[in-house]
Amino acid sequence: MSLALALIVLFALTVITIHTISYAVWNWRNNKSGALQVFLICLVTIALPTYVYFFRT
């Protein structure tokens, strides 16, 4: 996959992650464990593709 495509995919994932994190922040008051899980999912959503695209050899 070309670098440009990887960047586009990562950009889309970043937008989704920011949106989801803001949801988790909103949800923190009512459901702390749920919010934590959402944080974790967000982390994985960004970290895994980044690793696959740029660090995996």
Partner 1 sequence: MSYIGSIFRRLLFFEEPKKQEQFTLKSPGQAQQGSENQSNNQPGKQSNNQSGNRPDGSLGLTNAKAVTKPNKMPAEAKPISISKPQKEQKQSPKVSKQPDEISDDINVNLEYMKNRFSIPLNCDIILREFSINYKNKLIPAFIMFFDGMTDRAIINGFILKPLMVNSIMDVKESEYNLQDFILKQLLPHNQITLESTYSKAIDKINFGSCALFADGLCVSFTADVKGWEHRGVEKPNNEIVIRGPQEGFNELLRTNTAQIRKRVKDENLIVDDIAVGKVSKTPCSMLYIKNVANESLVGEVRRRLESLNVDYMLDSGILEQLIEDSTIYPSPQMISTERPDYVSEMLVLGKVVIIVSGSPNVLVVPVTAYELMHSAEDIYVRYPYANLLRAVRYFALFLALLLPGIYIAIVNYHHEMIPTDLLIAIEAAREKVPFPSIIELLLMEISFELIREAGVRVPGPIGPTLGIIGALILGQASVAANIVSPILIIIVAVAGIGSFALPNYSLAYSIRILRFGFIILGSIAGFLGITLGLFMIGVWSTSVKSFGVPFVAPYGPRTSTKSKNTFFRAPEWKLEFRPDYLDTKKKTRQDKYSMGWKPGNGNNRG
Contact residues toward partner 1 (CB under 8 A) are 1, 5, 9, 12-13, 15, 18-20, 22-23, 25-26, 49, 52
Smallest gap from Cβ 45 to partner 1, in A, equals 9
CA distance 44 to 28: 19
Smallest gap from Cβ 12 to partner 1, in A, equals 8
* Residue nearer to partner 1 on the CB measure, 15 or 43: 15
DSSP code per residue over 19-38: HHHHHHHHHTTT-HHHHHHH
In the numeric block, the tokens 């982390």 are attached to 43
